[in-house]
Amino acid sequence: MTEHVIVVDLGYGDAGKGGVVDWLCARSARSARSARSARSARPQDRKVTAVVRFNGGAQAAHHVAGPGGAVHAFAQFGSGTFTRGMRTFLSRFMLVDPLAMTAEADHLSKLKVPDPFGLVTVDRDALLTTPYHQAANRARETARRAARHGSCGMGIGETARYAADSPADAPRGGDCETRQILMRKLTLLRDRLAEETGFQRAGQPPPSVLADVYGAWARRVTLARDGHLAALLRQGPVVFEGAQGVLLDEWRGFHPYTTWSTTTFANALTLLAEAGARDGAIRLGVTRCYLTRHGPGPFVTEDTTLDLPEPHNGTGRWQGPFRTGHLDAVALRYAAQVAGGLDAVALTHLDVAWRHQGRLRLCREYTAGERRIQRLAPGPDRDLGHAERLTRMLLSARPVYDDAERIGAGDWPDAVAEIAGAPVTIRSHGPAAAHKTAAAHKTAAAHTTDARSRPPALAAPPR
Amino acid sequence: MGSGRWSTDVYEAAARLRGDASAFGYSDSGARRVHPALDPFGVTARESRDSAEHPASLAIAVLFDVTGSMGSVPRTLQAKLPQLLGLLLRKGYAQHPQILFGAIGDATVDRAPLQIGQFESDNRMDGDLERILLEGGGGGQKTESYELAMYFMARHTAIDCWKKRRKRGYLFIVGDEMAYPNVKPREVSAWIGDELAEPIPLTTLTAELTRSWDAYYILPAGAAYAGDGQVLGFWRGLLGQNVIELADLDAVCETIALTVGLGEDAIDLDAGLADLADVGSAAGPAVADALAGLGAARGPLAIGAGPARALEASPRTTDNDKPAGNIRL
């Protein structure tokens, strides 16, 4: 059995990847401990050694309830950080914001994680997100006004855009080791972006101050050498933690309401292949039993009358409102397809399904004008024209709900497994690791009877 | 997904990084257990690998006793050892050294009996050094858990110099006490995570360790048992001539570097001492004394059971005050 797991969100983000990653890490540490006392050494009992991030940047906010109940929004630390000794590797696909990382590390220290920086390794090629990118991002979004695309205001898009235009000039993790290089790149970046977007240089910290701080940061974290991931993979199983969601993918999402990164399994699979991993990995898709979207863009099943609890997400100044709606089988099937297929599904927020029995619907088809739509056809690779046509259609589409189909709270795993084309192997009834249960792959078909007949395990003791 | 929850400005970040940067950050922050980066538990292997940049890596490990009997020695080592890499490279004693730092406590009483960093070929190993928790514990029995560290080095390191070129790595243990006579399954299980069916006698373990490592014991001045005949006899029994008495702790890097240089046939002792004088080091006499016993040429390529062969002919100690259950050779 392969040991590595890649976790991606099958919707627009916020499905609960953080909780799933935390649970995978905590569980492996537990079974490694019990295997030790049982004197067995099965490979599946090996402790996960690291969480690898393979897309997005500091805008991620994967909420995990830690020991003692305090919640941390993981952004640039892997969501498994509450498991003792769990390391984080920020691969070259990550956009790294050193300043935000200091604030996050500070909070983790307060939650009794010892020396958080010591847990982080950063690829030297990973792009850096700076205050200049943020200033440019905000200047552009302000100019765009109502036509905002759902940016987080963290400069992620600017970072990706600048690097795409001038890859050699973009500041990267490894540049922090050499002050002259970093100074040159930062100065160039500030001057170009200020010119282009009209932000005030005077309102921004000078490159020299930034270079000092980035230098100090680079001495606290570890900058990866060649073969770092290969070495990690040899040490034990690794969890790849995706950010955002497949429906926001830069190419496969509903353009232009997308993000600047690849949110499918692709980056993680590339990293595994480069590291010479032989076994591949389990591709695990995460979805709630309903759908949410933070910010503007198509959302056919949105239902403003649904009043579901959402403790960690509110209306962001740059991001727009948090929206809630019903599970969209059409979009979920599309997500599973463009992600390249799934091996397993983690189904989250089942506690909401239990508490709101009968309120959550399942949309299996849309009407758009005269047409009835059950499937979204993926376009050719990297065809933004196709993605944009999908968006136009979705913006006018109306959901169809079959009144005869009543989904009981225990029916969701079966329904989702059928739509996603993969067994539901993890079910979550709450934010903490203790609220999650596993169903073995082989028994995936049989578990639903069990789920129907039993109420969810609520309020299990904290770990 | 998205938010700017952790957004901060550069001045706040600078203040945070400054507040965090004490030289011995981890110990002085009040930490009470091994830093996750140095935790040996569940580690398959610490690896010293060849790469494009370092095609012929040479593994060098320095583990030092951090228990109370060592006094201020561990702090001095924490401050001195970052110079080791530069010293090796500047003088060409080793072309591609990869250095690992670690610390040894007492598994019978300490919270961090074993701390093990990573092999690094640049100054990143300094970070491991800073993260070492200075225990200050230890029992009063003139014994510490060196055998647990030796077990880890024997079974949980993967070094290309040995694997690919049959060239042993260099292991330096800096301490002032004796090891326990057996590797205990309970301790290995608790601190490393392996299950052993039965205890491993120290002599057996040493034979295994010295297949892939040239192991040296350094007994520095300033430690409680500096110059102690029983301790020296114990280690000579295990490691033969590879036991070094170091009169001047400030010369620890020079001593280690020269030992490697000698082993690599990069220099002889006289040339090495001249090198030291060249770089303005006053450590020459101390190093000369410390290495007097090692001066004999020693092939860098050695196959076989290593210095543990000397066991049969090792000096017996008959001290009556020896703790019960101590090693009988």
- Over the stretch B113-130, which tens digit does the pLDDT of each residue have? 899 999 988 777 777 888
Find chain B residues with C-beta within 8 A of A209's C-beta.
10-11, 14
- Burial of B279 from C-beta contacts in 10 A (0-12 / 13-18 / 19+): exposed
DSSP string, A123-170: -TTPEEP-HHHHHHHHHHHHHHGGG-----SSSHHHHHHHHHH-TTTS
φ, ψ of residue B82 to 5 degrees: the values are -55, -20
> Is B106 or B278 the better-scoring residue by pLDDT?
B106
pLDDT for A463 equals 34
Q: How confident is the model at residue A348 (pLDDT cuts 50, 70, 90)?
A: very high
Asked whether the predicted pLDDT for residue A443 surpasses 70, the reply is no
For residue A89, what are its two tokens? 């590797």
DSSP H helical segments within A264-314, as ranges? Answer: 266-274
Asked whether the predicted pLDDT for residue A102 surpasses 80, the reply is yes
Find chain B residues with C-beta within 8 A of A234's C-beta.
44-45, 47
Contact between residue A349 and residue A392 where contact means Cβ atoms under 8 Å apart: no
**Stretch among A117-121, A194-198, B273-277 having the lowest mean pLDDT:** B273-277
pLDDT for A147 equals 59
Contact B36 A85 (CB under 8 A): yes
Average pLDDT value for chain A: 86
Contact A99 B7 (CB under 8 A): yes
Question: Looking at residues B176-198, what average pLDDT do you find?
Answer: 91
Question: Looking at residues B80-95, what average pLDDT do you find?
Answer: 84
pLDDT for B128 equals 82
Q: Pick the residue from chain A with its C-alpha nearest to B54.
A: A226
Tokens 């990973």 -> residue: A126
Q: How confident is the model at residue B29 (pLDDT cuts 50, 70, 90)?
A: low
pLDDT for A398 equals 95
Q: Which of A306-315, B263-272, B308-317 has the highest mean pLDDT?
A: B263-272
DSSP string, B165-215: H---EEEEEE-SSEEPSEE-HHHHHHHT----SS-EEHHHHHHHHHHHEEE
Asked whether the predicted pLDDT for residue A444 surpasses 70, the reply is no
Asked whether the predicted pLDDT for residue B325 surpasses 50, the reply is no
Query: Longest Cα pair distance anywhere in chain A, in angstroms?
Result: 68
Count of beta carbons in the 10 Å neighbourhood of residue A112: 11
Q: Give this complex's ipTM.
A: 0.75
Bridge-based pairing of strands B97-104 and B114-116 is: antiparallel
pLDDT for B137 equals 59
Question: Looking at residues A65-88, what average pLDDT do you find?
Answer: 90
Contacts of B279 (CB under 8 A, 6+ apart): B90, B91
pLDDT for B323 equals 34
pLDDT for A149 equals 56
Strand order in the sheet with A424-428: A222-223, A120-122, A87-90, A50-53, A238-241, A5-9, A282-288, A344-348, A424-428, A436-438
Q: How confident is the model at residue B312 (pLDDT cuts 50, 70, 90)?
A: very low
Average pLDDT value for chain B: 79
Contact between residue A422 and residue A282 where contact means Cβ atoms under 8 Å apart: no
DSSP 3-state of A407 = coil
Q: Pick the residue from chain B with its C-alpha nearest to A119.
A: B37
Contact between residue B167 and residue B58 where contact means Cβ atoms under 8 Å apart: yes
Asked whether the predicted pLDDT for residue A263 surpasses 50, the reply is yes
pLDDT for A112 equals 85
Contact between residue A96 and residue A129 where contact means Cβ atoms under 8 Å apart: yes
A404/chain B closest Cα distance in angstroms: 34
Q: Pick the residue from chain A with its C-alpha nearest to B41.
A: A85
Asked whether the predicted pLDDT for residue B286 surpasses 50, the reply is yes
Closest CA relative to residue B17, chosen from A339, A100, A351: A100
Count of beta carbons in the 10 Å neighbourhood of residue A278: 7
DSSP 3-state of A371 = strand
Q: Pick the residue from chain A with its C-alpha nearest to B50.
A: A227
Find chain A residues with C-beta within 8 A of B37's C-beta.
85, 87, 115, 118-119
**Residues linked to residue A71 through DSSP beta bridges, in sequence order:** A65
Number of residues that make up chain A: 463
> Is B233 or B304 the better-scoring residue by pLDDT?
B233
Question: Looking at residues A353-361, what average pLDDT do you find?
Answer: 87
pLDDT for A83 equals 92
pLDDT for B282 equals 72
pLDDT for A357 equals 83
Asked whether the predicted pLDDT for residue A339 surpasses 90, the reply is yes
Q: Determine what percent of chain A is predicted with pLDDT higher than 90.
A: 59
Q: Does A36 touch chain B (CB under 8 A)?
A: yes
Find chain A residues with C-beta within 8 A of B133's C-beta.
none
A84/chain B closest Cα distance in angstroms: 7
Q: How confident is the model at residue B62 (pLDDT cuts 50, 70, 90)?
A: very high
> Is B80 or A13 the better-scoring residue by pLDDT?
A13
pLDDT for A37 equals 55
How many helices and strands, by DSSP H and E, does chain A display?
13, 20
Peptide bond into A256 cis (omega under 30): yes
A397/B280 Cα distance (integer angstroms)? 80
φ, ψ of residue B139 to 5 degrees: the values are -90, 180
pLDDT for B308 equals 38
pLDDT digits (tens, 9 = 90+) for A147-187: 555 556 678 889 999 999 999 999 999 999 999 999 999 99
Asked whether the predicted pLDDT for residue A76 surpasses 90, the reply is yes
Contact between residue A226 and residue B52 where contact means Cβ atoms under 8 Å apart: yes
A74/chain B closest Cα distance in angstroms: 9
Asked whether the predicted pLDDT for residue A54 surpasses 80, the reply is yes
Question: Looking at residues A422-429, what average pLDDT do you find?
Answer: 94
A325/A303 Cα distance (integer angstroms)? 5
Tell me which H or E stretch contains A239.
strand A238-241
Give this prediction's pTM.
0.63
pLDDT for A325 equals 95
Contact between residue A132 and residue A154 where contact means Cβ atoms under 8 Å apart: no
pLDDT for A277 equals 86
> Is A10 or A61 the better-scoring residue by pLDDT?
A10
For residue B137, what are its two tokens? 């514990």
Closest CA relative to residue B113, chosen from B145, B161, B88: B145
Asked whether the predicted pLDDT for residue B171 surpasses 90, the reply is yes
> Is B287 or A443 the better-scoring residue by pLDDT?
B287
Asked whether the predicted pLDDT for residue A284 surpasses 80, the reply is yes
A204/A260 Cα distance (integer angstroms)? 24
pLDDT for A446 equals 32
Query: Longest Cα pair distance anywhere in chain B, in angstroms?
Result: 71
Contact A60 B8 (CB under 8 A): no
Find chain B residues with C-beta within 8 A of A119's C-beta.
36-37
**Stretch among A406-420, B24-38, B48-62, B297-311 having the lowest mean pLDDT:** B297-311
Q: Which of A27-31, A436-440, B3-7 has the highest mean pLDDT?
A: A27-31
Closest CA relative to residue B300, chosen from B267, B270, B269: B267
Contact B6 A58 (CB under 8 A): yes
Q: Does A38 touch chain B (CB under 8 A)?
A: no
B11/chain A closest Cα distance in angstroms: 8
Q: Does A235 touch chain B (CB under 8 A)?
A: yes
pLDDT for B20 equals 46
Tokens 């561990």 -> residue: B74
Find chain B residues with C-beta within 8 A of A318's C-beta.
4
Of B8, B36, B43, the CB nearest to A100: B8
> Is B122 or B102 the better-scoring residue by pLDDT?
B102
* Cα-based torsion angle of the residue sequence A354, A360, A361, A362 in order, rounded to the nearest 10 degrees: -60
Question: Looking at residues B302-321, what average pLDDT do you find?
Answer: 36
DSSP classification of residue A51: E
Q: Which of A21, A31, A36 to substitute to test the interface with B, most B CBs within 10 Å?
A: A36
DSSP classification of residue A320: B
